[in-house]
Structure 1
Amino acid sequence: MESSLEEERRQSLLVRATEPEDLAEYTGDGSVDFRGSPILKRNTGNWRACSLILGTEVCERLAYYGISKSLVTYLSTRLHEGNVSAARNFTTWQGTCYLTPLIGATLADSYWGKYRTIAVFSTIYFLGMAALTLSASVPSFMPPQCVGSVCPQPTLPQYLIYFVGLYMIALGAGGIKPCVSSFGADQFDDTDPVEKTKKGAFFNWFYFCINIGSLISGTVLIWVQENYGYGIGFGIPTFFIALAIGSFFLGSEIYRFQIPGGSPLTRACQVVVSATRKRKVDLPVDGSLLYELDGKSSAIEGSRKLEHSSEFSFLDKAAVILWNERDGYHDPWRLCTVTQVEELKILLRMFPIWATGIVFFTVCAQNSSMFIEQARRFTGKERGFSELQRMGIGLFVSTIAVAVAALVEIKRLQVARAEGMVHQKVPVPMSILWQAPQYLLVGVGEVFTSIGQAEFFYNQSPDAMRSLCSAFALVTVSLGSYLSSFILTLVSYFTTRNGQLGWIPDNLNEGHLDRFFWLITGLSSLNLLVFLYYAQQYKCKRASVA
């Protein structure tokens, strides 16, 4: 009842603006203000609102990377885990961080909206950071130090406070991540050509802010953790996530809000059920005879209409109007609008493109796991390309990166053998700069792929599913991390049978980490070929302007 009254109030306000010049002052993408009223362009959104959102992203990423970049080292040196165990725990946690976006995105698109979702999950994030800080600051919660070669295992409470805090961060970060990028993009009106151009620039700035947070955490915070301890090293990111929450709330009055459109998963199920029920019904030759609401408004709140496409024609049967459905109430499990059908078609078209991101992020997962293990053996410490073209370049460059990592490992093992260090768990006399090309190439690949992904999944998604589609993009990071853990487990199992040391023993000088990198190179090459095939077949979304 309350929502219908709210809708009537918004419509009455729009009716008052009868002149074209009055209508032009309002956003045309269905966005509203903090109180749910139609929103004026001149007072809201644009870079003024985005500056606060981007500032929030810098602080949040600084906090996230302040934990993630030192996690493998912390697990190895403080919790006394082996190489494979530390790498597997890291990739499992990282995978969880990028799987939980599905929770945040579903809540944002279906019920809460992006603003409220960010607020709730930011609080969970802060509590997780506080727990980690306590685990590294309070003596009774701190894991025991090694005494000579003896390294006592942490107690159960010490494990619990650390890992509970760690996975609260995973839940908080996941809830925030798909909403911040799409909420920032919502500050630009798709129906305004000038603002639509600015939206493309937003994704570049958004990724720039991610890397600023990563740069500061990877230099300043890591230095603080190594020189002043993890208590201060975790306390600083905790302060910054609190700062991010405060920064975000400052812009409440100038943000533009998209109305939640209900559960997209329910709508997708309705299309499948309805199409299955009408599987024996013939499709009309003229697509305009399929069911759709009259006028400009869509049946899905907060969404523009989508034009009919010829792909996956079986699903069109969900929009066929039977003789007993021509008047009165329509059961959504029996009759769906063309826009609702097209939502599901978009998801199906995007799926192959989405799936190719998994292996890419398996490569990226090595940045903070096996690349670090390899490094400790060295030292003891508008748009030129389309979204799909950017992603393709990123996939290609990342394939080269992991091949370079394999070549560097071959060189490192050669030096270890030449110096008689094969059976010694000591750093080899090689400069860490040998790793610079692989890190540079992964970084370049991630810039192209991540920005391309962010734009692709936002621009191609239905209006009422933007958080969810952004979450799907992030889930590739999760599945890439899980795939990395799975591959590590398989490699460890098959290469350690019959008493063998395996490819990745605790002493890497006795192993064959290069073979692991060549395996990832082969998977990445195959993945690139699959991407190229489906990218050529992809047809872009067409939103109705009528």
Structure 2
Amino acid sequence: MPQIENDRKKSGMPKSIPYIIANEIAERFSFYGLRSIMVTYMAVAFFNPHNIASLTTEADAKANEMSHLFVTLAYFMPLVGAIMADWFFGKYRVILFVSIVYTIGHFILSVAGPSYPVFALGLIVIACCAGGIKSNVSANLGDQFNKSNENLLSKAYGWFYMAINTGGTLAPIFIPVLKDRYGPEVAFGVPGILMALATIIFFIGRKKYKKVPPAGVKKENFVTITFYALVKLFSRKAGQKVWDAVGEKYSPKSIDAVQAVYRILAIFAFTVVFWALWDQNLSEWVLQATRLDLTLWGDFQILPEQVNAINPFLVVALIPVFSYLVFPFLEKRGLTVSPLRKIGAGLLIIGLAFVVIALLQEKVDIGQKPSVWWQILAYVLLAASEVLVSVTCLEYAYTHAPKSMKSTMSAMYLLGISAGNLVVGLINGNIVNKGFFSQFTGAKYYWMFLVILAVTFVLFLIISKRLPEKSYVGVDEEEALAKSV
């Protein structure tokens, strides 16, 4: 009986959760607040301060390049942050340290003034820290639960997801207003103040956290096995298969786990182009909004940086629409809604969003000032594509990766976002340097990405049908391995 009472006492929500949620809201607020204004700010403050019309295209390209390289680094660093936490320092120490440095990064932005090198330094600091938090906070939340209260885990992650979208929605609404009324120093500084407050709150809760100690460097990990497989590709015995050669050193279980990663990466490779298009809503689309009629109704107007605040709201609203209406409707009519079909549909719908943006840009190019409602339509399509691709990819990675590789797949998923932004950043850099892509400006820029997407979509249709699938849901890794032998 005392043991039962003990379990009941433990069955409530962990007291550490509010501290973790508060940290996440502030971090997402600061990240998306920064992204909502950084492109328009850089384009004017650093690359075209005298508003010379002939420099507009180059200034926009420079600002876009910096924005996408910032996101490239921010979504590459989760891999580094995860390694630091899992192998060396533990999640709590990494989160606390990067939260402190994150605050310093915002301070650097707020005092940068006309100095582009100082501003760029602040962006680098924030990108590194955002990555360190992103890879560890959600896992740290899961660490707070045990068998006695695991039934509350989904509710906690629901709060966590709402925290992300709360920060992502509120920031683009309020930060542009601060920039417009009080200047960039305040706009870049306020998120830093909130981040400092969140860091203090996170630190106050230190005695309430369940802290999982670092596990040290794992010998049989994805990187070491992959490297060994590459070595064996050129040094194996005559007639011997590569994975058979690798099996002489590593266990069948670890080899199967690495092979699972590569099967999933074959799908994730197509999301690179998706994210290359998606992330333009926080850069190229914001610059486009500066040339639109921003009147919503009557005399009420919004700032160009505020338009993308609708995206996280739409995502939250559309998830239940797809889950409880669209997917069941299709299933009842005999159409199987598989993960690969969802991803394919998402690629198609983001293409429709870019058709709207390209047509809108054609109007802008000839001097017209079309309504922002057309861009809002594109955001609706963008949100639908995000639900179909992003949510599905996370599900696909979970169901098709063994337990030992689930964290690796989360990092690989984020690397796809990083790679997509790197592609766009390099294209914009080429435009700045008068290279091959400099011919694709204005509406041609968006039509170019639509051609890239169309080629990707055709390849996806061809290759996805030939990819082997293995689900690890409901079976342990040994059982899944036995089924594949």
Same-fold call, TM cutoff 0.5: yes
> Residues 444, 458 of structure 1: CA spacing in aligned structure 2 closer, same or farther, 3 A cutoff?
same
1:165-176 counterparts in 2 under 5 A? Answer: 165-176=122-133
**Pair 1:445-2:412 in alignment:** no
**Pair 1:249-2:203 in alignment:** yes
- Check whether the contact 1:392–1:531 (CA below 8 A) recurs between aligned residues: no
Alignment partner, residue 470 of structure 1: 410
Alignment partner, residue 404 of structure 1: 356
- Check whether the contact 1:264–1:464 (CA below 8 A) recurs between aligned residues: no
Which amino acid is 1:209 matched to? Answer: A
Which amino acid is 2:436 matched to? Answer: F
Pick one of 219, 222, 230 that aligns with 2:176.
Answer: 222
Alignment partner, residue 16 of structure 1: none
Pick one of 470, 476, 485 that aligns with 1:543.
Answer: 476
> Residues 512, 353 of structure 1: CA spacing in aligned structure 2 closer, same or farther, 3 A cutoff?
closer
Alignment partner, residue 75 of structure 1: 42
- Cα distance in 2 for residues equivalent to 1:198 and 1:451: 21
> Residues 474, 515 of structure 1: CA spacing in aligned structure 2 closer, same or farther, 3 A cutoff?
same
Pick one of 240, 247, 258 that aligns with 2:194.
Answer: 240
- Check whether the contact 1:203–1:451 (CA below 8 A) recurs between aligned residues: no
After TM superposition, give the deviation of residue 457 of structure 1 in Å: 3.9
- Cα distance in 2 for residues equivalent to 1:537 and 1:489: 38
SS at match of 2:465: helix
SS at match of 1:125: helix
Which amino acid is 1:80 matched to? Answer: F
* Deviations 1:452-494 (CA, angstroms, capped at 9, x unpaired): 3444445655555554432221111111111112333456622
SS at match of 1:377: coil
Which amino acid is 1:403 matched to? Answer: V
* Deviations 1:478-537 (CA, angstroms, capped at 9, x unpaired): 1111111233345662255xxxxx332xxx5xx634533433442553465367436x63
Pick one of 105, 111, 120 that aligns with 2:82.
Answer: 105
**Pair 1:315-2:247 in alignment:** no
After TM superposition, give the deviation of residue 248 of structure 1 in Å: 2.7
- Check whether the contact 1:109–1:467 (CA below 8 A) recurs between aligned residues: no
Which amino acid is 1:472 matched to? Answer: M
Q: More deviation in 336-345 or 480-489?
A: 336-345
* Deviations 1:238-295 (CA, angstroms, capped at 9, x unpaired): 0111122233334434434444333357634554548949955999xxxxxxxxxxxx
For structure 2, which runs of at least 5 residues remain unmatched after alignment? Answer: 49-58, 295-303, 305-319, 328-337, 480-485
- Cα distance in 1 for residues equivalent to 2:185 and 2:34: 12
After TM superposition, give the deviation of residue 395 of structure 1 in Å: 3.3
Who wins on radius of gyration, i.e. which is larger? 1
> Residues 442, 218 of structure 1: CA spacing in aligned structure 2 closer, same or farther, 3 A cutoff?
same
After TM superposition, give the deviation of residue 217 of structure 1 in Å: 0.9
- Cα distance in 2 for residues equivalent to 1:393 and 1:205: 28
Alignment partner, residue 216 of structure 2: 262
- Check whether the contact 1:358–1:477 (CA below 8 A) recurs between aligned residues: yes
TM-score, normalising length: structure 2: 0.75
- Cα distance in 2 for residues equivalent to 1:319 and 1:41: 47
- The alignment covers a number of residue pairs equal to 424
Which amino acid is 1:79 matched to? Answer: F
After TM superposition, give the deviation of residue 58 of structure 1 in Å: 1.2
**Pair 1:181-2:138 in alignment:** yes
- Cα distance in 2 for residues equivalent to 1:68 and 1:481: 13
1:98-137 counterparts in 2 under 5 A? Answer: 98-135=75-112
- Check whether the contact 1:125–1:172 (CA below 8 A) recurs between aligned residues: yes
- Cα distance in 1 for residues equivalent to 2:180 and 2:187: 8
SS at match of 1:99: helix
After TM superposition, give the deviation of residue 441 of structure 1 in Å: 1.6
TM-score, normalising length: structure 1: 0.67
- Cα distance in 1 for residues equivalent to 2:386 and 2:243: 35
- Cα distance in 1 for residues equivalent to 2:362 and 2:405: 46
- Check whether the contact 1:99–1:474 (CA below 8 A) recurs between aligned residues: yes
SS at match of 2:435: helix
**Pair 1:482-2:422 in alignment:** yes
SS at match of 1:100: helix
- Cα distance in 2 for residues equivalent to 1:175 and 1:446: 23
Which amino acid is 1:543 matched to? Answer: D
Sequence identity (%):
27
> Residues 269, 449 of structure 1: CA spacing in aligned structure 2 closer, same or farther, 3 A cutoff?
closer
- Cα distance in 2 for residues equivalent to 1:252 and 1:281: 57
For structure 1, which runs of at least 5 residues remain unmatched after alignment? Answer: 1-18, 27-39, 136-141, 144-157, 284-312, 321-333, 422-427, 497-501
Which amino acid is 1:215 matched to? Answer: T
Pick one of 202, 208, 219 that aligns with 2:162.
Answer: 208
- Cα distance in 2 for residues equivalent to 1:41 and 1:449: 40
- Cα distance in 1 for residues equivalent to 2:351 and 2:155: 27
Which amino acid is 2:39 matched to? Answer: V
After TM superposition, give the deviation of residue 132 of structure 1 in Å: 1.0
Pick one of 437, 440, 449 that aligns with 1:503.
Answer: 440
